[in-house]
Amino acid sequence: MKKIFVTSLSILIFSCLKADIVQYNTKNTDPATFASGQQLPVATRSYTNFCNPNGWGRKGCEFLAKYDGTFWADTENYYSDFSDIQFLNDVYFISLFNIKNDVSYCRGWRTGENSSDGKKWKIKITKDGWDVLWFDYDYYGTSDNIEYTITYKYEVIDSLLHFSNTEGQEFIFHPSDKNYSKDTVDTGEIIELTGCMFF
């Protein structure tokens, strides 16, 4: 009698533990990919793929983690507004250098709200992949309403940085080994704007 009771109790407990498992086709089964390239198959990508260089999300920035500290130069249009670029996996995620003979400018951008000389703009990263970085630039000027929006796209193809934006501009940047210290920049004056990263 005691054996029958124990056996019945065991069967009852095991039957209660059994559950119907239903898998839906809409579940996101993409593995989470870290900046190092390591994949975590137990977590879905949507919970880990976010990029905010200003705060805790900077480790989720795949492009910025891979190209942290890299410099790029537009060798064909060196004296354009986009002559030199540096990416950083930091608060200011991009520094733009306009190196000219008389006066050179340097400024940095960060996600969220930026301002300079009473003008305001906001930046939001919209696509962040291993070799792709897109962000939206909302320009407010001196008002509280968006005057215009530009989407900036950076993509590394065959070790070259391809730049384009919704304004129709396109440039190709080459990797640069310049150190961009103030002492080595051959210019009459350097104007450093917010977020400028000279070494």
Residue 173's domain is classified under what CATH number? 2.40.128
40 part of a folded domain = no
Q: How high is the mean pLDDT of the chain?
A: 75
pLDDT > 50? residue 45: no
What is the number of structural domains in the chain?
1
34 part of a folded domain = no
Confidence of residue 77 (pLDDT cuts 50, 70, 90): low
74 part of a folded domain = yes
pLDDT > 90? residue 47: no
Mean predicted confidence (pLDDT) in 173-182? 76
156 part of a folded domain = yes
Label each residue of the chain as H, E or C.
CHHHHHHHHHHHHHHHHCCCCCCCCCCCCCEEECCCCCEEEEEEHHHHCCCCCCCHHHHHCHHHHHCCCCEEECCCCCCCCCCEEEECCCCEEEEEEECCCCEEEEEEEECEEEEECCEEEEEEEEEECCCEEEEEEEEEECCCCCCEEEEEEEEEECCEEEEEECCCCEEEEEEECCCCCCCCCCCCEEEECCCCCCC
Could you tell me what percent of the chain has a pLDDT over 70? 55
Q: What is the pTM of this model?
A: 0.65
24 part of a folded domain = no
Q: Which of 41-55, 56-70, 157-171 is predicted with the least confidence, judged by mean pLDDT?
A: 41-55
158 part of a folded domain = yes
188 part of a folded domain = yes
Range of the domain at 104: 53-192
pLDDT > 70? residue 141: yes
166 part of a folded domain = yes
